[in-house]
Amino acid sequence: MPARQVCQNFFRDALAPLHKYRQNALLDATIALINGASLTLTS
């Protein structure tokens, strides 16, 4: 099963109130992290 489908199924209820664009952005970021990307936070 592709990572995107697993994430969508796992986060379905939590992401339901968010706009579809934001859901996709969060899913893309999660999949990137699964694939080895690093996360940087700035203020």
Say if pTM beats, i.e. exceeds, 0.75. no
Q: Could you state, in order of their start, the residue ranges of all structural domains in the chain?
A: 3-34
CA atoms of 7 and 11, how far apart (whole Å): 6
pLDDT of residue 3: 84
CA 42, CA 15: separation in Å to the nearest integer? 23
**pLDDT tens digits, 1-43:** 788 898 888 888 888 898 999 999 989 998 999 999 998 889 8
Which pLDDT score is estimated for 43? 84
